């Protein structure tokens, strides 16, 4: 797998009538070492998180329960993904605008990140982001 653009990938799933188990084990499962993970819960049904991009951070987003949609924007254009399985991840490279929205009630989003939290790594202005992408494409 070439990890140079947003893409869905399968995560190992050990199916079991007692409950399924999935695992991300390094090296091999993702294109980066995990530095941090966080999760988003208790989002009112149908709501969205504000969009942003990271200058350096890469991430993997997983719907641990429920479902939501993710729109990514960047040099690869605009793409929409629906996440609803705990054994499927969305890889999001650095310099990708992403918005998470349409959360089903009681959804849980797990985000695995390549870096520690750093507000200066965020780009929160879509126009500014689009300008950088436009310039990098020239
Ligand atoms: P943020 O990443 O801005 O989420 P969203 O764009 O979906 O609103 O995070 C929301 C707040 O949480 C922000 O004030 C920063 C804080 N935060 C941390 O302190 N550590 C973290 O690892 C993350 C992801 C956020």
Instruction: Please tell me the distance between residue 114's alpha carbon and the centre of ligand 1 in angstroms.
Output: 15
Ranges 44-48, 80-84, 116-120: which has the least confidence: 44-48
In the prediction, which pLDDT does 2 show? 82
Alpha-carbon distance of 111 to 113, in angstroms, equals: 6
Instruction: Please tell me the distance between residue 15's alpha carbon and the centre of ligand 1 in angstroms.
Output: 33
Could you tell me the pTM of the whole model? 0.96
The verdict on the CB of residue 99 being under 6 Å from ligand 1 is no
Burial 35-55 (b: 16+ CB within 10 A, else e): eeeeebeebeeeeeeebbbbe
Q: Specify whether the CB–CB gap between 80 and 5 falls below 8 A.
A: no
Ligand 1 atom with least separation from CA of 124: 6
Rounded average pLDDT over 102-116: 97
Q: Specify whether the CB–CB gap between 79 and 71 falls below 8 A.
A: yes
Which residue owns the Cα nearest ligand 1 atom 11? 119
Question: 19: left (phi > 0), else alpha (psi -120 to 50), else beta?
Answer: left
Per residue in 31-80, pLDDT (tens digit) is 999 999 999 999 998 887 889 999 999 999 999 999 999 999 999 999 99
In the prediction, which pLDDT does 99 show? 97
Token pair of 2 as six digits: 């070439």
Instruction: Please tell me the distance between residue 99's alpha carbon and the centre of ligand 1 in angstroms.
Output: 13
Averaged pLDDT score across all residues of the chain: 96
């Amino acid at each position: 797998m070439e990890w140079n653009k947003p893409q869905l990938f399968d995560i190992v799933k050990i199916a079991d009538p007692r409950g399924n188990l999935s695992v991300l084990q390094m090296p091999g499962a993702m294109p980066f070492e995990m530095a941090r993970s966080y999760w988003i819960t208790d989002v009112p049904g149908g709501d969205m998180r504000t969009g942003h991009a990271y200058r350096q951070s890469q991430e993997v987003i997983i719907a641990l329960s429920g479902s939501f949609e993710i729109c990514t924007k960047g040099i690869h254009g605009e793409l929409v993904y629906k996440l609803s399985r705990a054994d499927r991840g969305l890889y999001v490279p650095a310099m990708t605008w992403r918005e998470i929205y349409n959360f089903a009630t009681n959804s849980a989003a797990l985000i695995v990140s390549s870096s520690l939290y750093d507000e200066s790594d965020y780009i929160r202005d879509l126009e500014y982001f689009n300008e950088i992408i436009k310039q990098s494409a020239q």
